[in-house]
């Protein structure tokens, strides 16, 4: 049998079925001479599926690169050269305080201590005694009394002083 007319092309991509190495190529997809979808960056992800068609990447990230291997594409990773977490947009948190190292102004915070947005221990009343050690975290006080005020200056913190506005003795609890 001789076919002098059109060559058979089941997927209508312009490549005859006998030469077609990728017979199920979607319609209107750019193809090479073998009818396989183009892959300009040669990363194994066809350009029509590749979110980063000009830069080689991984199949798991739809063809986009991940320089530090943390599973976050470089275009969405705040710390491209250091592996991090999704929660911190690809940045590491060495002291595990929940603040990315690049934003952490106190990078050696002790584990389990509550920190503010800058990664430093919290001091609600700004008296210099951190909340973790402050007996009166919402009222400014003095370090010697663990962050509590002493209104009458008798050396007994107001929260322990029976007469906080009148100077008294330690034996009488203020």
**151/153 Cα distance (integer angstroms):** 6
> In a 10 Å sphere around its CB, with 0-12 CB exposed, 13-18 middle and 19+ buried, how is residue 14 labelled?
exposed
**21/34 Cα distance (integer angstroms):** 6
Q: What is the rounded average pLDDT for all residues in the chain? A: 89
pLDDT of residue 5: 58
**158/174 Cα distance (integer angstroms):** 9
Residue 4 has pLDDT above 90, yes or no: no
| The model scores a pTM over 0.85 | no
- pLDDT, tens digit (0-9, with 9 covering 90-100), for 98-136: 999 999 999 998 888 889 999 999 999 999 999 989 999
Contact 131, 114 (CB under 8 A): yes
**75/83 Cα distance (integer angstroms):** 14
Tokens standing for 135?
């007996």
């Amino acid at each position: 049998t001789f076919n002098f007319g059109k060559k058979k092309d089941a997927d209508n991509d312009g490549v005859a079925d006998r030469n077609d190495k990728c017979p199920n190529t979607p319609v209107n997809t750019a193809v090479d001479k073998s009818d396989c979808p183009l892959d300009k960056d040669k990363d194994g992800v066809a350009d029509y599926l590749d979110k980063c068609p000009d830069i080689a990447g991984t199949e798991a990230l739809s063809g986009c690169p991940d320089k530090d291997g943390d599973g976050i594409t470089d275009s969405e990773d705040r710390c491209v050269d250091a592996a991090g977490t999704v929660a911190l947009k690809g940045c590491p948190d060495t002291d595990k305080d929940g603040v990315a190292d690049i934003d952490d102004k106190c990078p050696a915070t002790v584990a389990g201590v509550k920190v503010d947005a800058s990664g430093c221990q919290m001091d609600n009343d700004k008296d210099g005694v951190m909340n973790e050690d402050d007996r009166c975290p919402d009222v400014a006080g003095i370090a010697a009394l663990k962050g509590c005020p002493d209104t009458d200056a008798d050396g007994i913190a107001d929260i322990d002083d029976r007469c906080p506005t009148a100077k008294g003795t330690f034996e009488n609890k203020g």
